[in-house]
Structure 1
Amino acid sequence: MNLGYTRISTLEQDNRMNNAEKSRREFLSGSGKVAAAAALFGATGSMAYSAPSTSKTRETDNRMIAIKDKHYYLDNVLLEAGFVRDGQAVVGTETELKTLEIKGGVIAALLDNKQHPDATLAHFDAGGKLLLPAMRDMHIHLDKTFYGGPWRVNYRPEGTTIMDMIALDRKLLPELQPYTQERAEKLIDLIQSKGSTIARSHCNIDPVSGLKNLENLMAVLERRKSGFECEIVAFPQHGLLLSKSEALMREAMQAGAHYVGGLDPTNVDGAMEKSLDTMFQIALDYGKGVDIHLHETSPAGIAAVNYMVETVEKTPELKGKLTISHAFALAMMNEQQVDNIATRMAAQKITIASTVPIGKMHMPLKQLQEKGVFVMTGTDSVIDHWSPYGLGDMLEKANLYAQLYVRANELTLSRSLGIATGNTLPLNDKGERVWPKVQDEASFVLVDASCSAEAVARISPRTATFHKGEMVWGAVGV
């Protein structure tokens, strides 16, 4: 959109801010780690830490490169090795430097550091950065955003309703569509720079855009498929019934969308049971999953949750195929009600996708997890007409989760990482290494942190992101 003046793009701003923040954090990290090491060493007398020398860091930085090889060694990888305990309390995390052999997209071997059994293979230097599992942005809208274009904040006066936003969406879609592919590519770059290589994107299916957004998004994902995996939810943003989009949704299923989406069946469609029944029937007809936006916090929202759980309980083909995104109605339930519905959801393998909202609403995410419900997170909006926020950073979401839902300590902070990684963690609750293992997919991120707990607490900078052995963002040393 030409606004008549020149602005620095949001992408350029992010790059400048990332560089400045990286420099600031590297400085603070170096001095902070020395102080923390001295304090911890003095308190325990049993652990030694060392900060990398400035001269070596600079030398490595000057020689940073990208990896093109399919079979290679990655040296100086910091792996978590176990927990340090004071009695029963976890007070620290032990780490060790290792070499990974990467071959054919998997971790072929875990070796002693700088051991290269095949001297003919290329080897690269991770610089002592911490290895964490690749992250997953499981609720994002890649097909419509201001990101990558001029900075813009949409005016949303107090009292704006979802119907007002749907009307605005209809107006803006034709303006945004020419930029769909370009901006989706830039959004993928952004979330890869934050360590995510797997995503689930909702994509508008409506009478205004037809299947054009889906076609554009599928074209982008085809180009990026070697380094990025993304499921697509066909999302009837303007209401499945309200906009008479059932036929379009069925076309989207035939075109290759992975999930049937839905939206507030009472507040938008005005007929809860008919709206949900239509959504589920489309999924059953095409053997697809369901991922519905449920924002409703009224008793109608609770009724919708109960109706969906009952439907899955009565329909075995839907077991493990329903995700309720946002699910704000759960925050309206008391503790016993949450326990009851969570037990039923866990039995049917129903998942929750939460953006970890901040504000007055307190989602029962920890309680859901304790009852066995799989909870994942995602960005949702990134600088679009719904919200000017959204960093594309799942580590930030893990940090928010930790701040809101746990009493911070080494163990709980390290466990909080799971919401960002699909519950893949380097150490189990006993402190045993369970990731990475030989033959695990080589999808991971290098982080400037000493352990998972620090990475979550400090939202530590990422230096490189890998998907199935391919470096998709960042650089390493030689």
Structure 2
Amino acid sequence: MEQSYWLLNVTLDDGFIFEDGKIIGTKTELYNLYINNGVIDTIQLAEIPIYSTKTSVHDAGNLLALPAFKEMHNHLDKTYLGLPWKSCIPAANLIERLNLEAKELAELASTGQHRAEQMLQLLLKGGATHVRTHVNIDPYIGLKNLEEIQKALETFEGKMTHEIVAFPQHGLLRTNSSSLMRQAMNEGATIVGGLDPGGVDLNIEASLHEMMDIAVEFNADIDIHIHDPGHLGFYTIQKLTSLIEDARWNNRVSLSHAFALGDVPIEKSREMASILANLGVSVMSTVPINRVMPPVDLLHDYGVHVALGCDGFYDSWSPYGTGDMLEKVGRLAERYKWIDEYSLSQSLQFITGGVKTLDKDGKRLWPNVGDEASMVLVEASCSAEAVARRANRNAVISHGRLAYGGLVIESALK
């Protein structure tokens, strides 16, 4: 698509409908948007005539625009997509699963770029224009997966932005991967990963300190996966918050999974939620259906930034998944019984980087003039319906560029 054009007949959430002081629906209006160099330059009601010279015009056909989605927890290097069907081999525990994965790493390495591209296309089709991917860094594979994923991401330049987490999947200490992690950070990884300092590395303090040392050395953010449940996982999170304070790494740490926050008494969860919010620690959840998950509602109420991701799927860990972020947030809404108009519309923020279309009073928050022109055009009357019914995605626009789907192209206006 051109760098500058009009996008006509875009439906936007435009306010709430109130009855007896309660929100019972969403008002929408048709707008025309002028996109200029990847930014929304003008927003005007569709009924207002457009005057322009030699400007291309695209018609959204009354589709609803939503903020583009962000997939914040993925493993592009693990997927079987693009290969013949293969189900999973059952594993009794995490360590057994890691050992099974290690056996196939070398075999999968040569197809890394191809497989990752299949996954990226699936995510893009679902409306995601940003992905945070974890990439295995370990003695079994070295930096090969990183190299393959970087090539795949290059092919989606202009369509998807990305972050790369150097991820010691098989244990930072357990596999003596510190030097490889430093190499990965030198070779293009942007975030330092970590994994279960207790359950995998068997030394919480040493593992956390080494992870933090690498992050400080490279002035990088952290994304640590803590699957350990109950007291073990909670103690690990407590030690991590102490390290964040000591290193002054506020607003630079993400805590993925964090199942332990849902395992402990509610009083402890509240206390920790307050600490995490004060330190600016984000929580990344995959909304699992087969185990306890962190209390997203409580964390959000305390001001903790919560984001969602699909994790690994179609791989040695799980044969299930869709790569659909709208489905992911719909599952979250179902888990918390968010069935009313307001709750459904607000839930969208968990897959958009915190962006909401409306505030509690019905004032439009998105889009605004000056916003990045990244959006998903869906078949729905409003954002609440889009979440509840997992609306079809007809087109995805990334930084003003049509990244997926199609739009009606009209002749230039005179």
User: How high is the TM-score relative to the length of structure 2?
Assistant: 0.97
Mapped to 1, the partners of 2:293 and 2:283 lie a distance apart of: 15
In 2, Cα distance between equivalents of 1:192 and 1:85? 35
In structure 2, do the counterparts of structure 1 residues 324 and 362 end up closer, same or farther at CA, with 3 Å as the change threshold? closer
Structure 2 residue 398 is the aligned partner of structure 1 residue 471: no
Matched ranges for 1:2-401 at <5 A: 68-113=1-46, 115-156=49-90, 160-316=92-248, 318-401=249-332
Could you say which structure has the higher helix fraction?
A: 1
Whether 1:427 and 2:358 are equivalent positions in the alignment is yes
Identity value in percent: 41
- The aligned amino acid for 1:192 is L
TM-superposition CA deviations, 1:428-457 (whole Å, max 9, x none): 111100110011000100010000100010
Using the TM superposition, give the Cα deviation of residue 462 of structure 1 relative to its aligned residue in structure 2, in angstroms: 0.4
Q: Is the contact made by 1:145 and 1:176 (CA closer than 8 Å) also made in structure 2?
A: no
Tell me: CA distance 1:210–1:350, structure 2 relative to 1, closer, same or farther (3 Å): same
- TM-score for the superposition, normalised by structure 1: 0.84
Higher Cα radius of gyration: 1
After TM superposition, give the deviation of residue 362 of structure 1 in Å: 4.4
| CA-CA distance at 1:89 after TM superposition | 1.0
Number of aligned residues: 408
User: Residue deviations 1:54-107, cap 9 Å, x none?
Assistant: xxxxxxxxxxxxxx2111111110011100011111111010111111110000
Give 2:54's aligned amino acid.
T
Do 1:380 and 1:390's aligned partners in 2 also have CA atoms closer than 8 Å?
Answer: no
CA distance in 2, matches of 1:186, 1:119: 40
Give the 3 Å change call, closer, same or farther, for CA 162–362 of structure 1 in structure 2: closer
Consecutive unaligned residues of structure 1, counting only runs of 5 or more, are 1-67
Deviation at 1:464, TM superposition (A): 0.4
Q: Give the AA of the match of 1:78.
A: T
Quote how far apart the aligned CAs of 1:174 are.
1.1
* Alpha-carbon distance, 1:411 to partner: 0.5
Letter matched to residue 147 of structure 1: L
Unaligned stretches of 5+ in structure 2?
A: 410-414
Contact 2:227–2:257 (8 Å) recurs in 1: yes
Distance 2:100 2:320 in 1: 18
Greater strand proportion: 2
Give matches, 1:445-460, under 5 Å: 445-460=376-391
Larger RCO (alpha carbons 8 Å, 6+ apart)? 2
Contact 2:230–2:264 (8 Å) recurs in 1: no
Q: Cα distance, 1:458 vs. partner? A: 0.4
Displacement of 1:216: 1.2
Query: Aligned equivalents of 1:454 and 1:236: distance in 2?
Result: 40
SS in 2 for 1:341: helix
Output one character per residue of 1:127-177: Cα deviation in whole Å (capped at 9) or x when no partner: 1110000000000001121112222111215xx111111111111111111
Q: In 2, Cα distance between the equivalents of 1:73 and 1:310? A: 51
Where does residue 20 of structure 1 map in the other structure?
Answer: none
Which segment is superposed worse, 447-456 or 170-179? Answer: 170-179
C-alpha deviation, 1:112, in angstroms: 2.6
**Larger mean Cα displacement after TM superposition, 163-172 or 439-448:** 163-172
Quote the RMSD (CA, aligned, Å): 1.1
* CA apart distance, 1:360: 4.3
Contact 1:135 1:196 in 2 (8 A): yes
Q: Residue 197 of structure 1 aligns to which amino acid in structure 2?
A: T
